[in-house]
Each structure stands twice: as structure tokens, then as C-alpha cells.
Chain A
Amino acid sequence: MSDALIFDAVRTPRGKGKKDGSLHEITPIHLLKNMYDALQERNNLDTSKVDDVVLGVVTPVAEQGSCIARVSALYAGWNERVAGVTQNRFCASGLESVNLAAMKIMSDQEDLVVAGGLESMSRIPMGSDGGAWYMDPRVNNTVQFIPQGIGADISATQMGYSRKDVDAFAVRSHQLAAAAQSAGHFSRSIIPVRDINGVIVLDHDETIRSGTTVEKLSALKASFEMSGKMGFDATALRKYTDLEAIDHVHHAGNSSGLVDGASLVLIGSAAAGAAQGMKPRARIRSCAVVGSDPSIMLTGTTAACEKALQKAGMTINDIDLMEINEAFASVPMRTCEELKFDMDLVNVNGGAIAMGHPLGATGAMLLGTALDELERRNLSTAMVTLCVGAGMGIATIIERV
């Protein structure tokens, strides 16, 4: 079995996922092309040696449809021998790509794989692919569907996190992200997005608000109270029968933002890296996915982390840094509390509340962020985890080499 080594990780800056977002006028495939160009250039890569592209896209329709993994590699001018597969594990898709690539390498079936993700949320709105999950009333009812935001509110209610607690976490995310941005902590991974002429369209994450305070956030209306009252709360309360009511604490300001972005990670065996003259930065120690409570959908992180630790023969004390995706403030709060980890070592450069969550791309972005920070602090291990729609969790442990 080979080690799955990480040679490089690149990402776009995250552009606001609305009509007025900087990346809205750039096609999703062009976002990816920027990343392919960078990987090839930075590593002087012979693309004919790349076996496969594994790409996570959560809404793989329209411009993001029809196996964009393969088509984007061709569009980027990579060798026609590079295969491609698009997969969807909801919010875990980006990290799932990394894990699948790692398994390909570890199993010696492939030698060099590009893993990553893509989501242009401003152009392809979340949910525009539909799905039996929530559209088909029989399926919806069987799985007791409730939107993830209400799941986040349930989770906060269960854990006793007040509106103030989650808002304070949101402020932390913005402050840490702003500090990291101005200190240039993202510069190794961020590749500015350029248009067809090479003109820079966006070179920084554009949704960070350094001036946010708990007071300002307190003015925002809870996002899920109305749909909760319309019926989703009742479904939740039928399931969580020791809860009397759901405290709706999440809103746009303490949940992950809708953004556009793409990310790619180059993963391969030691031999394949050496053949290309590339220096490995880290290896993937273990990875895990789990199924978890399908109604809250946000509690799989802890179990996934525990599974990954166990597979790696490690304990939480062996982890130096964590990236826990900030889908909603209560997710990193609960995960950190359940794992008894030090919050000061979680999302040290902010997270998706400040910078947004380009669904399919986020996991691979977090991996790059964690790796950059390990190197900056000269630490060894990091664990990346994300909560996943329909109740799943994913985790990956990396270790510098």
C-alpha cells in the first residue's frame, strides 16, 4: 500500500454567491480552468501522468452538469488521457474527492490524481437539481425531512447554545478570517481568478466583515422561524420528544454564506511525485464517512472524526489543528465540545461563516487551509471535518512529511 501524498492545493477566492458577486459573471468551468492552469504551472506538471480527476459538485446540473470533471480537464487543455468523475456527497463532496483520490493511491490502482470541487452558487442555485429527498412527499415523510437550518436550531437547543453564543462564534469567524487575510495566510493556496484575457476578476475572499459585532448580528431575524412554524418544527418535535420547543437562533449572519468557488488538490504516490520532481507536503493518514441523524444532519462530524482517529490509530490529543466546517455556528461549537478539543485550535483562520461555503468545493479548500497553517506554525497533524446533508459526516486526517 502506498502513502497518499499531497503535493499541492489551490483554490479560488470565494466570491459572494449573488448577482452582485464578483465571480457571478465567470462560468463555473472557467473557475476550474484557472485552478487547472495553476496546478500545471506551479508544479510543472506533465498532465499525461494524471490518472483521474475526482470532482465534487453538489448541484451538478446545467453548466455544472454532464460530468464536468472530465470536460473541465479537456477544456483546461490537459492531456486527453486524464479521466474524470463528478460525485456528490452534498457538503462533503470536496473532501470526498480528496478521500477517494487518497484511496486510489493507497490501493496502488492509480498514481496521480487531482481531487477537488466546484460550486457556482450564484449561477446554479442550491437545490436546482431537485431530488426525491425533499420533493417526493413519500420520501420526504419517510425520512422526516426538515431543512438543515432547523436542524442547526435543534442542535443548538439540545446543546443549550443561546442566540448570543452562536452570534459570538460568528463574530470570531469574521475576526479570525480578517486577521488571516490581512496577514496573508491564504496567499499560498489562493489563485486569483482571471478572465479570458488574463485580467484579474477576484483575488481575495469577498464576504469577510471585520467590523461585525454581536450587537449588529442581534438585529438579524432568525432564518428558519417561519418555515419552522409552518410545520417543520412540529416534525422535529415529534422526533425529539423531550424538547418542548425549538429555539431558532441561526440566521444569515451565523450560518455559512452562499459563495462561488473551486478548489483542486494534487495527490499521488511518492514515486509519481518523484518522477515529476514534486516535493510532498503531507500525507493522508486516514479518512472516514459516517451516516448520522438524518433530521438534524449536522451531528455526523464527531462520529466521523472518531472513526478517522481510530483508523489512524490516533487520539484527539494527537491532533494539532482542526478545520470544522462552519455550516452553522452550532456545528463547530458542538463538534469541538463533543470531541473535548481546544476551541483555540479550531478554524484558526476563520471559516465559512466569514468566507462562505461553496458546497462542492469547500472540503478541498479546508484541506488546503489546514495544510498551509500546519506549515506556518510548523505543526504536524490536522483533522478536517464537515457535516453533510441527509445526515452524514466526513473527516480526513493529514500529517506533514
Chain B
Amino acid sequence: MSTDMNTNNEQAVHTNLDQDGILTITFDMPGRSANVLNDDLSDGFTAAIAEIENNKDVKGAILTSAKKDFLVGADIDKVFAIKKPEEAMTLADDFKAMLRRIELSGKPVVAALNGSALGGGYELAMACHHRIALNEPRVQVGLPEAKLGLLPGGGGTQRLPRMIGIQKALPLLLEGKSLRPDKALSSKLVDELADNKDELLSKAKAWCLATPSARQPWDVKGFRFPGGDSKHPAIAQLWAIAPSMTNAKTQDNFPVVIDIMSCVFEGGLVDFDTALSVESRYFAHAATSQTAKNMISTFWYQLNALNKGASRPKGIPQTTVKKLGVLGAGMMGAGIAYVAAKVGIPVVLKDISQESADKGKEYSAKIMDKKVSRGHATAAQKEELLALITPTADAADLAGCDLVIEAVFEDRGLKAKVTQEAEAVMDQEGVFASNTSTLPITGLSEASARPDNFVGLHFFSPVDKMPLVEIIRGEKSSPAAIAKAFDFVLQIKKTPIVVNDGRGFFTSRVFTSYIAEGGLLLQEGQHPRRIDMAAIKAGMPVGPLTVLDEVSLSTPLIIIEQNQKDLGDAYEAVGIEDMLVTMVRKLERAGKKDQKGFYDYDAQGGKKLWSGLAEHFPLAEQISEQDLEDRLLFSQVIESVQAFEEGIVTNVADTNIGSIFALGFAPQHGGVLQFINAYSMKNFVARAEELADKYGKRFTPPALLIKMAKANETFA
């Protein structure tokens, strides 16, 4: 006997009861490419659960999906809209109640994961009695909520520790790490793997038939946590150090870290149903936190919008780069060649000598060797990638390149020369891009025969790790050229932001304001260690003095001197000019590359503040830590707003994502402009005025902010 309960295509959930009494429940939301946990899905699913509970003919059930993925989480719109903790608790409690019905039905329910099961999707899988995943590398399993400042509110913080133990569950929950099927199996996040969809369903059915009545381990009397509950001595020791271990990386800037720990700790002391209720309270705490709002708006809405082309000129057909030319095989050029070859683009890597060009290609070989040794790539993949890179000293090899990126020294004359050399041979319709980090694009394009096809493509070092590329629109750059650059950035799987031309564009300009503030603090007599620590505590990845040592103090000095030369009387002093001259020229301490800058560096990679620093920058009265932190963040935020006012950056998403992905600007704030939203426009203006009074006019709030504060506006 076979009943087909619900095959209406308008429904999100389909059920099919076979002759053995196995009910297959398939998620297939109409009109969407992926299933998402919203009301449509839960309505259909609730009906299916009732079928399991009430239909005597149903002996067991299989949950699966007709989409590519199984289920990739909750409806973010709904979570983002939460205002009050009570709403969040209701949302979480309702979901939990539904999951609880699955595990308490008494009948075996198997999750047949035909694709990725993430967040709420994996929580649903955990509420099933058995989990089988399709063994394909595209399939991912895990609870990534923490990456958006959230925690799993569907019992994930309770079921996972009860499945794999507190010690193993904590890092997965805290880092929001997703696992591929093989790793998910060895970590016991799934119980079995299947090689194809048929095997997946037949294994699921076989398990149902072999397990006529199923209960979760935590619903069996005498249940014990694998590895011990929160009271167990070894786990109690873990709790003593867990906050320190995590905050050593996150600086206590993400409240969700402790929210997750509280769920697991407290949940490990009480019964399962009480634990679920405890989790809802912390879910509400996280979901209503400003940090979650910041992270969701930037890392979800804005990032998705950018990657979907929000900043791409409209109405221009999609392009792909077929052959890339890279001029200059130094660290940047070699990195660009690697990321392009990695996505299958043939690359001509040109330098002045064959030897230098070969060396640039060697960079890719080294990266691939490391991947092969770690099992992340095969030797064949390495050869395939290397075969795409042609090192050369001959400009003629650039023939047929539809995009050429120059990454030679920051020297106008040299850049002009290589531009003309390349344009003579490359695809005449192609785009020429400069990877300059500071020189205005419009000026560079004067050397070009086709300035409308000339753009800036600002990569960040190391290219293979940094997720962002800043596209610079010169005065003459055509929309088609920008679109082509944009498509290329997506092609190499990076996030593009588009900015207008100007000294330092967007990211270098904000970076300069950060290191300048660090330098000013040092000159004022603030303790150098306190300066760097204040930045780190505020959420920056590296303190300003350390970062100056790392990029070398001569880099900003050269830029400053170039600007002084270019601008003459119009040059506005940053305030650290003399300090840089003293450090670089007088003391010959240009930074890490010479093992001496603000810090002394030893061969083991350790660093220690240079003992002579206090002699040149004597300590004065120390300002409060709050002032230190605010100065280091406000300087960047205000510079960004000025860039926004001047039209260098033109939308909020570019500005926020650019600040985080390029500069590491405190991610808990969701970027430089979201920082102001979260601070509240009025409070930000007031605090900026206070800082301006105390520390200088560079903190004077820009007119745009004062206007927005009056109109009660935010950066949206």
C-alpha cells in the first residue's frame, strides 16, 4: 500500500509512505533554490510530524531534501528582526518543541543529509535518531551561528555536547566550524556516510527497519555525557581556562562566546529539557545583542549584496577573464598569478628577467606543495595549476591577454613604461589595471593609450589569504572596464569593493589614519605597549606600532614624502613625519625587516619593545584606556566618513566590508560606518567633539555626521 499524502508542488514539505511503513519527508520549498527554516517549512513539517506520531501505519521516517542542500539554517530575516528577548525565546522554544516531538515520537527518524546541513538544519538532524550524510566534498555539516554573533537556539548547544562530549563540542560551537562528511563521521557528527543518493535513502530505511523503537541517549535513564558533565573534574578544569583560551583570540569582544559557554556549562548541570530552556535564554541574549546586529547586517546582508554585484555598474553583460597578464613577479604579482591560476585562468607572469619571473612562479609551487603535504590538494592539481602560469621576460607574450595587472614598484615612470609596453601587445579591447596602493589612478592612466580601459585593482598582501580587492575607478575609467574588473574579482573568489580615485583611495587612507594615531600617541608619551594593547583590545588584529614595524616605517615615510612633493603647500601634515624620519633615518630602525623598529626582533620570531624607545619618546602622563581605544578607532572611522563625504566610497557596504576585510577593523562593530550606527549617531558626534577638544581637530565630527545626527539618520 502506498499513500501519497502531499504531492502538491506548492507545498514546502512532501511526504511519501512506502509499503514498509517508512515515511519519507522531503523538504522542497517552492520558488527557492535552498530550503530555509521559516513558517512555510515548519507548517508543512509540523503536519508531517503529526503523521509520524498519529499514523499507526508509519513505522519510521526519513528526513531529506529535494534541493542541493539539506537545510542551511534559520531564516536570518526573522532573527534580525527580533527586538525583544521574549520574541527570541518564543522563536527558539517553538523550534525546539517541534524537534522534541521528533525525538520523543518513539518511532525511528533518520536524517538523510543529501547536502549541507548547517545551523538549524543540522540542529534538526541532531534531533533525529540517526544521521547519514552523502559523502561528497560539497556537503558541509555544522553550527556556524557564532560567525554572525548568534548561537544555535534549537537545542544545538545541548545535543552536540551530549553526542560528542563537552570538550569536543565547545570549539565547534565557538568557532562555528563546518565539517566535510569524512570529518563529520570521525567527529561523530554523523553516524554513517553514503556514496550516492540511492544508497543514502536505502541505508536510512534499513536503519529504520532495524530500529523499531528509537530514543535519544539523553532520554534514557542514567544518561552520562561522553567525557563527563560540567561537574566532572576534567571538565571543571576545562571551564576554568576556556574563557581565557577563547578570549586570547577574540579579546572578549564577542558576547556570544560566553553565551555559548554558559549554554554548555549550565546545560551540563541540569536535565535535558531544563537545558533547552536555558539555551533559549542565552539565544535571546545573543540575538538581541548589538554585536549580533552589527555582524548580521555587515557579514550577511552587506557582504551578500557585494558578492551579488551591488557595486557593479548596471546593464553590462557578465564577462570572464580568459588570459591574464601580470607585470612584476614580486610578492604581489606572484600572489595574483596564484589566485588566478587557482580558478583556472591562464596567466602570463612577466618580470624584467626570466629568472625573476620564474621565481614568481615558484611562489605558487610552494603554496601548492604545502597543500599537497597537508592533503588539501593532489600532486596532479599542483601540476595543473602550475601549467597555467607562464613566466616570461618578453612583453610579446602578453598578446591575447584581456586583463593585465601591473604590480611593479610604486614609481610613476616605471608604471608608465610597463603600461605602454603591455598595451602595445595585449588584447586591444582588454583592461589594464594598476595594483598601486596609493598613487591616484587618473594620473597613472595618463600614460595609457586607452585611459577608459584603465582601472585600479588594489590587492592586499598576502594575496592568497586576503579576501578583498579594492577596485579604483579613475576619472576616465569606463563602466565596462569597472564591470570587467569586478567580474574578475568574483572570478578569483574574492569580494570586490568599488571606490573612486583619490590619494590613498579608501583603504590605504584609513590605514594611514590608524598608524598615524598610533605614532601620535607614542610621541605624546603614551606607553608603547599600552598603545598596541589598546588597539588589540578594541578589536584590531595588530597594534599600530607593531603593524608599522611589519610594513616597515619607511613605507609611510616614502608615501608622505611623495605627497609632500606632489602637493607642495597644500600638503597637510599627519603629525608623525618627524617621528618617522627619526626612526628611519636617525636611529635606523625601520622595522621588522631589519629586526629593529619600535620592537627588537629575535631569530625565533619573538619581539620585545626596544629598550631605547623611552629615551626618544619619554613617557608622559598616561591617558585612560578608553581614550586610547577610542582614539585608535575614531581616527579610522572619521577618516572613512570623510572619504564617504568626498565620494571616494559611495555605499555603506563597500565601506564597512572594505574596512574589515582590508584593515581588520574591529569586526564586532560590523565596520567603520556600522560602528557609528551602533554607537548612535548623536553619541558618536558628542564623543568625537570631546576627543577633538582633548586631542586635536582631526577628531572634529564631519558635517555629514552632524547633519545625519540632526535628522536621526543611520548608515543603511
- List chain A positions with a Cβ less than 8 A from chain B: 127-128, 130, 134-138, 140-141, 145-147, 227, 230-232, 234-235, 237-238, 241-245
Measured CA separation A137–B258 after assembly (Å): 7
Known: A137-B261, A137-B262, A242-B529. A145 touches B240 (CB 8 A): yes
Of A137, A140, A145, chain B has the most CB atoms within 10 Å of the CB of A137
Q: What are the 9 tightest A-B residue pairs by CB atom distance, in nearest-first order?
A: A234-B248, A231-B244, A137-B261, A231-B245, A141-B243, A241-B533, A134-B240, A235-B244, A231-B248
Residues of chain B lying within 8 A (CB to CB) of residue A128:
233
Verify B239–A136 contact, CB threshold 8 A.
yes
Contact residue among B240, B252, B533 (Cβ-Cβ distance under 8 Å from A135):
B240
- Chain B, interface size: which category? 20 to 34
As a 0/1 sequence over residues 225 to 241 of chain B, the CB contacts with chain A under 8 angstroms (1 = contact) are 00000110100100111
Query: What's the A-B contact tally at a CB cutoff of 8 Å?
Result: 80
Known: A241-B530, A241-B534, A242-B529. A137 touches B248 (CB 8 A): no
Residues of chain B lying within 8 A (CB to CB) of residue A136:
239, 262, 265-266
Residues 235-288 of B at the A interface (beta carbon under 8 Å)? 236, 239-248, 251-252, 258, 261-262, 265-266
Known: A135-B236, A232-B241. A141 touches B608 (CB 8 A): no
Residues 135-174 of B at the A interface (beta carbon under 8 Å)? none
As a 0/1 sequence over residues 512 to 538 of chain B, the CB contacts with chain A under 8 angstroms (1 = contact) are 000000000000000101100110010
Residues of chain A lying within 8 A (CB to CB) of residue B261:
137-138, 141
Known: A130-B231, A242-B527. A146 touches B265 (CB 8 A): no
Chain A CB within 8 A of B625 CB: yes
Please list 24 pairs of residues, one from A and one from B, whose beta carbons are closer than 8 Å in the complex, sorted by A's number: A127-B236, A135-B236, A135-B239, A136-B262, A137-B243, A137-B261, A137-B262, A138-B262, A140-B239, A141-B243, A141-B252, A141-B261, A146-B244, A147-B240, A230-B244, A230-B245, A234-B247, A235-B243, A238-B247, A238-B251, A238-B252, A238-B533, A241-B537, A242-B527
Measured CA separation A324–B241 after assembly (Å): 29
Q: Looking at the assembled complex, report how far the CB atom of B620 sits from the nearest CB atom of chain A, in whole angstroms.
A: 14
Verify B530–A137 contact, CB threshold 8 A.
no
As a 0/1 sequence over residues 600 to 617 of chain B, the CB contacts with chain A under 8 angstroms (1 = contact) are 000000001100000000
Q: Looking at the assembled complex, report how far the CB atom of B186 sits from the nearest CB atom of chain A, in whole angstroms.
A: 25
Verify B243–A145 contact, CB threshold 8 A.
yes
Residues of chain B lying within 8 A (CB to CB) of residue A127:
236
Residues of chain B lying within 8 A (CB to CB) of residue A137:
239, 242-243, 258, 261-262, 265
Known: A135-B265, A137-B265, A138-B261. A242 touches B530 (CB 8 A): yes
Known: A130-B236, A135-B230, A138-B258. A241 touches B529 (CB 8 A): yes
Contact residue among B233, B265, B529 (Cβ-Cβ distance under 8 Å from A243):
B529
Residues 528-562 of B at the A interface (beta carbon under 8 Å)? 529-530, 533-534, 537
Residues of chain A lying within 8 A (CB to CB) of residue B247:
141, 231, 234-235, 238
Q: Looking at the assembled complex, report how far the CB atom of A143 sits from the nearest CB atom of chain B, in whole angstroms.
A: 10
Measured CA separation A140–B241 after assembly (Å): 9
Verify A232–B529 contact, CB threshold 8 A.
no
Measured CA separation A166–B527 after assembly (Å): 28
Residues of chain B lying within 8 A (CB to CB) of residue A134:
239-240
Measured CA separation A238–B261 after assembly (Å): 20
Verify B244–A241 contact, CB threshold 8 A.
no
Verify B241–A230 contact, CB threshold 8 A.
yes
CB-based nearest A residue for B259 = A138
Residues of chain B lying within 8 A (CB to CB) of residue A231:
241, 244-248
Measured CA separation A237–B251 after assembly (Å): 11
Verify A232–B244 contact, CB threshold 8 A.
yes
Residues of chain B lying within 8 A (CB to CB) of residue A145:
240, 243-244
Q: Looking at the assembled complex, report how far the CB atom of B257 sits from the nearest CB atom of chain A, in whole angstroms.
A: 8
CB-based nearest B residue for A150 = B244
Residues of chain A lying within 8 A (CB to CB) of residue B248:
231, 234-235
Additional 9 contacts, C-beta under 8 A, given A140-B239, A145-B240, A238-B247: A137-B265, A138-B258, A141-B252, A141-B258, A145-B244, A230-B245, A241-B534, A241-B537, A242-B527
CB-based nearest A residue for B606 = A245
CB-based nearest A residue for B607 = A244
Residues of chain B lying within 8 A (CB to CB) of residue A241:
527, 529-530, 533-534, 537, 625
Verify B533–A237 contact, CB threshold 8 A.
yes
Q: Looking at the assembled complex, report how far the CB atom of B515 sits from the nearest CB atom of chain A, in whole angstroms.
A: 19
Q: Looking at the assembled complex, report how far the CB atom of B174 sits from the nearest CB atom of chain A, in whole angstroms.
A: 11
Residues of chain B lying within 8 A (CB to CB) of residue A244:
529, 608-609
Residues of chain A lying within 8 A (CB to CB) of residue B241:
227, 230-232
CB-based nearest A residue for B608 = A244
Residues of chain B lying within 8 A (CB to CB) of residue A138:
258, 261-262, 265
Contact residue among B240, B529, B534, B625 (Cβ-Cβ distance under 8 Å from A140):
B240
Verify B537–A238 contact, CB threshold 8 A.
yes
CB-based nearest B residue for A142 = B258
Q: Looking at the assembled complex, report how far the CB atom of B599 sits from the nearest CB atom of chain A, in whole angstroms.
A: 9
CB-based nearest A residue for B249 = A234
Measured CA separation A389–B499 after assembly (Å): 56
Residues of chain A lying within 8 A (CB to CB) of residue B246:
231
Q: Looking at the assembled complex, report how far the CB atom of B271 sits from the nearest CB atom of chain A, in whole angstroms.
A: 18
Q: Looking at the assembled complex, report how far the CB atom of A300 sits from the nearest CB atom of chain B, in whole angstroms.
A: 21
Residues of chain B lying within 8 A (CB to CB) of residue A140:
239-240, 242-243
Of A145, A230, A234, chain B has the most CB atoms within 10 Å of the CB of A234
CB-based nearest B residue for A244 = B529
Residues of chain A lying within 8 A (CB to CB) of residue B262:
136-138
Q: Looking at the assembled complex, report how far the CB atom of B98 sits from the nearest CB atom of chain A, in whole angstroms.
A: 29
Measured CA separation A141–B529 after assembly (Å): 23
Residues 402-416 of B at the A interface (beta carbon under 8 Å)? none
Measured CA separation A231–B257 after assembly (Å): 15
Measured CA separation A237–B537 after assembly (Å): 10
Measured CA separation A241–B627 after assembly (Å): 14
Measured CA separation A136–B230 after assembly (Å): 9
Residues of chain B lying within 8 A (CB to CB) of residue A227:
241
Of A145, A241, A243, chain B has the most CB atoms within 10 Å of the CB of A241
Q: Looking at the assembled complex, report how far the CB atom of B388 sits from the nearest CB atom of chain A, in whole angstroms.
A: 43
Q: Looking at the assembled complex, report how far the CB atom of B694 sits from the nearest CB atom of chain A, in whole angstroms.
A: 20
Of A136, A145, A147, A237, chain B has the most CB atoms within 10 Å of the CB of A136
Measured CA separation A307–B174 after assembly (Å): 45
Measured CA separation A243–B529 after assembly (Å): 7
Residues of chain A lying within 8 A (CB to CB) of residue B266:
136
CB-based nearest B residue for A147 = B240
CB-based nearest B residue for A227 = B241
Of A135, A146, A234, A238, chain B has the most CB atoms within 10 Å of the CB of A135
Measured CA separation A137–B233 after assembly (Å): 15
CB-based nearest A residue for B622 = A242
Measured CA separation A136–B242 after assembly (Å): 10
Of B240, B245, B258, chain A has the most CB atoms within 10 Å of the CB of B240
Q: Looking at the assembled complex, report how far the CB atom of A204 sits from the nearest CB atom of chain B, in whole angstroms.
A: 33
CB-based nearest B residue for A243 = B529
Q: Looking at the assembled complex, report how far the CB atom of B544 sits from the nearest CB atom of chain A, in whole angstroms.
A: 14
Residues of chain A lying within 8 A (CB to CB) of residue B533:
237-238, 241
CB-based nearest A residue for B531 = A241
As a 0/1 sequence over residues 284 to 323 of chain B, the CB contacts with chain A under 8 angstroms (1 = contact) are 0000000000000000000000000000000000000000
Of B243, B247, B530, chain A has the most CB atoms within 10 Å of the CB of B243
Residues of chain B lying within 8 A (CB to CB) of residue A135:
230, 236, 239-240, 265
Of B527, B529, B609, B625, chain A has the most CB atoms within 10 Å of the CB of B529
Residues of chain B lying within 8 A (CB to CB) of residue A147:
240
Residues of chain A lying within 8 A (CB to CB) of residue B534:
241
Measured CA separation A44–B527 after assembly (Å): 65
Measured CA separation A243–B243 after assembly (Å): 21
Measured CA separation A137–B265 after assembly (Å): 7
Measured CA separation A150–B91 after assembly (Å): 43
Residues of chain A lying within 8 A (CB to CB) of residue B243:
137, 140-141, 145, 235
